[in-house]
Each structure stands twice: as C-alpha cells, then as structure tokens.
Amino acid sequence: MIARTYGTAEIQSGTPSPLKSRLSLAGKVALGLIACAVIMAPDTRQASAISQLEQWPAPLKGSAPLKDKIQQLTTRVAALENYIQAASDSKGGSCSLLGRDVCTTLKQIEDADRSARDAQQDGKPTVAEAIADLQNRVVAMEQYLQTGSSNESAPVTSMTLKDQVQDLQSRVGAIRKYLVDQAKQSGGSGTSRFLDMIKSQIGVPKFDEKMVGSFGEWAGTPGARLLDKGQATPAESREVVEALNGTSDAFSVHAGLLNDSECAALRASLDAEHARGTLAGEADLKLNITLKELEYIVGTAAADRLVAFCGGHFDTIIIRRCEPGGQIINFHKDDHLRTILIALVDDEQYEGGRLVFATRDGLRVPPRPAGTATVHTSAVVHGVTRHTAGVRYGLFFLQGMGGVGTLSDLGYDQDDSGATYVATNGTNGTMTEDKPSAVITGMDGLYRVDYDQLDADMVKLA
Ligand SMILES: O=C(O)CCC(=O)C(=O)O
Ligand SMILES: [Fe+2]
C-alpha cells in the first residue's frame, strides 16, 4: 500500500475541523447536493459526474488506458489532499490560505508529491492495490468534507476495476467541485489560490513564446523610431504598414468589456503567480489559462460575456503581467487570425507601453481604460511604445490560423481590405462608419478615435 501523510483515522479523530465548522448555510446546501451526487447509484453518479469532471482540465475518459487514468487520479487525489491539508492547517479554513507564507505552502506540496512518488516506486502496487489506495483516500476526503456518508461511500469491490476507476473519477471530480464552490463562496482570492495549488501539481502548460510579441530594443526594425517619437505622419505610418506587408487598417476598440473588480481579480491572480511558483519574479509573465480557470477567476457572468464578445471564436487565452523594462514591442502582425486584447489596468497607471496601430492614415493610439478590448486581425500592424513605469496587465483571446477558416467566418469582409467588423463595431452589430478603424462603444455612446498623435481626445459620434 502507498503510505500517505494522513488517513481516515486521523481525520475522524481530534477537534472539529475549521473547514467543517465554518460552513455557511449555502455551503451546507451545496455540500448536501454534492453528497447526494456522490452516494447515488453508479450510473446516475456517473452521469452527474460528467459535468463535474468538465471542471477539471483534460480528464482522461473513455478508452484511455486504465494505468494512465490511475496515474492521473493519483496526481489529482494528492492535489486535493494537499489543498485540504493546507486549508485545515491554516487558522480558519480554506479562505485564509492567502495569509500563509506561500513558499512554505509550496514546499509542503512539493515534499508530499515527492514522498508519494518515492512510495510508489518502492511499493510497486498492482492496479488493484493502487485503486484500493485511491478509494481509501477518496473516502477519507469525503468523510472529512462530509461530502459522502461514511457507510455508503465505502469501496464497492464488486465493481470491475474499470468501473471502480470511473467511480473514483466522478468522486474526485465532486470533491474538487465542492472545494472550488467553497473557495468561491469565501471570495475570489481563495479561488485563485486553489488554482495555484492545483497548477503546482498538474503543471502549468508551457507557454509558447511565439504566441505574442515580446519586449526588446528592436533597433532598426520598421517604425521603431516612431514608437519612441510617439507620432508619425500618415506617410511614415503607411511606410511601416507596407514594410510589414500589413493589408488592413481595421482594428476596433470597445470600452467597458470587463468591470473594475473583474480586472482586479485577474490582476490579483497574475500577482499571485508572480509571487510564487516556477515563474516567480518573471518580468514579462505570460500564462495560458483555460476557460474554466478564467471562469474561476472572474466569475461565470464575465466569462460568458467574454465568450459572447468573441463569438465563441478563440482557441487560446493568455493572461500577461509586464514590469516596466524600458523596452518596446516592435511593430508586427500577430500570428493569429484574430487577436482580442483586453487591458486589465488603466493606461494612466503606467507610463509608455501604449498599444499603437499603424494604419495607412497614421498612427492610432486608442485610450485604454481597464476593461477596454481591442480587436484586430493578423493583417493589422501594431506595436507597443517604450514601457517605462507601472505594471501592465492584459488578457488575450487568440484565434489561431487553424481554427475557423477565414476572416469572413469572423464577420469581416471577404478581402479584409476595408473595415467590416460587422459583429461588434457599432451598436447592436450595425455598421456605423464607412471607415471604422477605431470606433469605441463607450458607456454613454459611440466614439471615434480621430487623432494623429498620442493621447488626443476621442470624438463622440452618437
Ligand atoms: O500588450 C499589448 O498591448 C500588445 C502586445 C502585442 O501586440 C503582442 O504581444 O502581440
Ligand atoms: Fe501583437
């Protein structure tokens, strides 16, 4: 058997856990529902568990080898145990995790992970033993969290090994969902800490550097000089567009896509990642996140709003935190059919770092209060001015070249020459300008960005 840091006996004895005693009424109701799901007949449980498993990144389902499923379950069970352990160790339950020394927490997780791996190598458990061990541990967690009844949730050994694994998957999913719900109830911050912990167990997907532009000196690249000057004549801007083979001036700007607290939640998650873990201290921190992770951070309403804004067309979500490095992002075209970039901090909170679009009519620098989205295609040339002070935060929704086939699928005109971003350019999806290269849907009406130099005012259209 695999040795664990705690077991059923230890959990049952001792003083009432802070986790239990701190449950709110809503928490108890949610817990009751989960408990029902957990002790249902296997078939029903399996069905209800499908939606629960969706909460978890990439669960192994169906035809995946049993061995792999067990391996994944082992990692997940360890992650949940560590989370519960850390939550109940700290004074006041899961929500107080934020107050803990993050390095200590991380070390505990790493130690537990290592000892579990060592134990596994020593013992070389059979498939049946590994499943039995997981069952014990899942029962222990269910009892601890009161998500299952102590008798009914005992391992059902008459099931085939395959069914036992499936059963475990659904129960592990239910426990995770319960913990996420708990974390959500205690405020957004507990949620992102939960994600931190899970991520440190399952690993943050490696970031593909080619996804977005990078800060550097970029001396001698087209328009680098103009980014420093902050302005250009239309002819100079056109030269940059042509040098980079830009074929469209059609970008659009949409204010108020996220509200202040949603932006703050994303910044807090980025700050948390920046303070700990393998990417601690990274000056230009870029993280791939899943839609579910985004949902945990900003809430379902905001996540739905973002997905609707994208028309469901995106395949990569990135959150980014940049320290001021005194560098530029050179003028470039993105390697994506479409990029939606949402500023997560007011542009007045940092110096330089302005997103600049090079059009054939001149440089355009839209004002970007926190929550403002810009939309552009792979044909639009853009760059970022020298970022000299204050931290910059952004959220990217990228639609890669391989997903939806063409720009017209995304609502652009066929040849991408003009600026027909029908879906979101105007109010109610109507076209409002024959050249809407920068139309802003503001809180109180429609604006057009109409200026030839940085920081000029917007013109109200309607
Ligand atoms: O962060 C920004 O404002 C834009 C960055 C950009 O264009 C990129 O990373 O491709
Ligand atoms: Fe870019």
356 lines ligand 1 (CB under 6 A): no
Residue 177 in contact with residue 144, Cβ under 8 Å?
Answer: no
State residue 193's pLDDT score. Answer: 52
In angstroms, the CA 48 to CA 38 distance is: 9
Angle between helices 127-145 and 161-185 (to 10 degrees): 30
**What are the angstrom distances between the C-alpha of 236 and each of 229, 245, 313, 327, 360?**
12, 14, 34, 21, 9
Helix, strand, coil share of the chain (percent; to 5): 45, 15, 40
Q: Mind listing the pLDDT tens digit for each residue in 379-392?
A: 899 999 999 999 99
395 lines ligand 1 (CB under 6 A): no
Provide CB contacts within 8 A for 85, sequence distance 6+: 5, 6, 108, 112
347 lines ligand 1 (CB under 6 A): no
CATH 2.60.120.620 fits 210-460, yes or no: yes
Whole-complex ipTM:
0.98
Residue 144 in contact with residue 35, Cβ under 8 Å?
Answer: no
Residue 80 in contact with residue 109, Cβ under 8 Å?
Answer: no
- Backbone Cα Rg of the chain: 25
Domain boundaries, the chain: 8-202, 210-460
Query: What percentage of the chain reaches a pLDDT higher than 70?
Result: 53
Number of neighbouring beta carbons within 10 Å of residue 337? 24
Cα-to-centroid distance, 214 and ligand 2 (Å): 9
State residue 169's pLDDT score. Answer: 85
Shortest-distance Cα residue to atom 2 of ligand 1 = 355
What type of residue is 205? P
Shortest-distance Cα residue to atom 3 of ligand 1 = 355
Number of neighbouring beta carbons within 10 Å of residue 156? 12
Atom number in ligand 1 closest to CA 339: 10
212 lines ligand 1 (CB under 6 A): yes
For the segment 244-261, the average pLDDT, to the nearest whole number, is: 86
Q: Mind listing the pLDDT tens digit for each residue in 29-74?
A: 333 333 333 333 333 322 222 233 334 555 676 778 888 888 888 8
Return mean pLDDT, the chain.
Answer: 67
What type of residue is 138? V
213 lines ligand 1 (CB under 6 A): yes
Q: Mind listing the pLDDT tens digit for each residue in 162-182?
A: 888 888 888 887 887 777 666
